[in-house]
């Protein structure tokens, strides 16, 4: 039975993995940031040494995109330097690393969905720190899976879906940008891919892109949420310049999933299909 360490064990993706994993014979150890601080070398080594882990799923990350601009050192510590520590220890103890990355490693200047081999050029501190973490993994390890995803949401944690459901209850009107385009990704679907990688004992290491199918703006995403949740909220589409943020976002961050679909023989649901399921599962509907 594979033994698996999950860092960031209280985050939405880890909670989705936990929920899906119940039907499999897998030995998971979920560690929250309070239980295992990945920035601490001694704590990491103590956890990995002698525990017999086969896999480490790194869900731990600094994901506050705007705050990262003024907290560069913290973002770099968690998303880059700690990942470097983790990669070196995974190599030392022969643990396969599954690391979650982001569409923010790209600039958003493409007009076609991004392939894994496309040039990276992050626009802000968050994307740069995540890209640096990716590079450290590739420099230190041969047995790794880096999964770049986008617009992650679920019924767990803090995310766009839960924010919109809350706003829909509290507000009569809301403005959402329509000139940033990508693909919402249900964390439960991403968790399913991760479990498939482990269960199949795949040796097809490398970088992968995973999101749901289809394309949407943040406005489209919000519109679909309100419609599926039967909420009456007047939604106003606006340009990004009308909603200034500390960090610049990619205007186009659609990911090409051809590689992951071919290698793992999976069918990826359309984002609206998965959103409907998430809303049904949501306790805050």
Q: How far apart are CA 66 and CA 84, in angstroms?
A: 23
pLDDT band at 285 (very low <50, low <70, confident <90, very high): very low
Average pLDDT over residues 205-223: 98
**The two structure tokens encoding residue 12:** 């939405």
pLDDT value of residue 51: 85
Pairing of the two strands 185-186 and 96-102:
unpaired
pLDDT value of residue 284: 44
User: Can you give the pTM of this predicted structure?
Assistant: 0.95
Give me the percent of the chain exceeding a pLDDT of 70.
99
pLDDT band at 8 (very low <50, low <70, confident <90, very high): very high
pLDDT in tens, 50-104: 789 999 999 999 999 999 999 999 999 999 999 999 999 999 999 999 999 999 9
Mean pLDDT over each residue of the chain, to the nearest integer: 95
Q: Exactly one of 55, 62, 114, 126 is catalytic; which is it?
A: 126
Q: How far apart are CA 59 and CA 184, in angstroms?
A: 18
pLDDT value of residue 283: 58
The torsion angle over the Cα atoms of residues 99, 280, 174 and 219, rounded to 10 degrees, is: 60
pLDDT value of residue 166: 93
pLDDT in tens, 218-277: 999 999 999 999 999 999 999 999 988 999 999 999 999 999 999 999 999 999 999 999
The domains found in the chain, sorted by start residue, are: 3-159+183-213+255-269 (3.40.50.720)
pLDDT value of residue 40: 93
* pLDDT(150) > 80: yes
- Nearest 5°: the CA angle 4, 156, 260 is 55
pLDDT band at 199 (very low <50, low <70, confident <90, very high): very high
3-state secondary structure the chain: CCEEEEECCCCHHHHHHHHHHCCCCCEEEEECCCCCCCCCHHHHHHHHCCCCCCEEEECCCCCCHHHHCCCHHHHHHHHHHHHHHHHHHHHHCCCEEEEEEEHHHCCCCCCCCECCCCCCCCCCHHHHHHHHHHHHHHHHCCCEEEEEECCEECCCCCCHHHHHHHHHHHCCEEEEECCCEECCEEHHHHHHHHHHHHHCCCCCCEEEECCCECCEEHHHHHHHHHHHCCCCCEEEEECHHHCCCCCCCCCECCECCHHHHHHHCCCCCEHHHHHHHHHHHCCCC
Average pLDDT over residues 134-149: 97
* pLDDT(22) > 90: no
Centre a 10 Å sphere on the Cβ of residue 50 and count the other Cβ atoms it contains: 9
* pLDDT(171) > 50: yes
**The two structure tokens encoding residue 181:** 């385009």
Active site annotation includes 210: no
Q: How far apart are CA 114 and CA 78, in angstroms?
A: 25
């Amino acid at each position: 039975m594979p033994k698996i360490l999950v860092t960031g064990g209280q985050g939405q993706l880890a909670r989705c993995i936990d929920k899906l994993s119940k039907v499999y014979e897998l030995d998971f150890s979920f560690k929250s940031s309070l239980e295992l601080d990945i920035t601490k070398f001694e704590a990491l080594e103590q956890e990995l040494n002698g525990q017999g882990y086969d896999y480490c799923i790194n869900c731990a990350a600094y994901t506050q995109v705007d705050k990262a601009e003024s907290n560069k050192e913290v973002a770099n510590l968690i998303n880059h330097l700690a990942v470097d520590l983790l990669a070196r220890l995974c190599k030392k103890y022969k643990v396969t690393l599954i690391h979650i990355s982001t569409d923010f490693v790209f600039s958003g200047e493409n007009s076609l969905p991004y392939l894994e081999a496309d040039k990276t050029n992050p626009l802000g501190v968050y994307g740069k720190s995540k890209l640096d973490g990716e590079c450290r993994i590739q420099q230190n390890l041969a047995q790794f899976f880096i999964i770049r995803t986008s617009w992650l949401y679920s019924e767990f944690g803090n995310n766009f879906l839960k924010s919109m459901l809350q706003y829909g209850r509290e507000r009569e009107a809301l403005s959402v940008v329509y000139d940033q385009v990508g693909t919402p990704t249900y964390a439960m679907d991403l968790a399913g891919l991760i479990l498939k990688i482990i269960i199949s004992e795949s040796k097809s290491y490398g970088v992968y892109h995973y999101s749901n199918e289809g394309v949407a703006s943040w406005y489209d995403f919000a519109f679909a949420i309100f419609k599926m949740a039967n909420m009456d909220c007047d939604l106003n589409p606006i340009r990004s310049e009308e909603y200034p943020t500390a960090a610049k976002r990619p205007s186009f961050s659609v990911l090409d999933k051809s590689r992951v679909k071919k290698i793992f023989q999976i069918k990826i649901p359309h984002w609206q299909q998965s959103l409907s399921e998430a809303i049904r599962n949501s306790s805050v509907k």
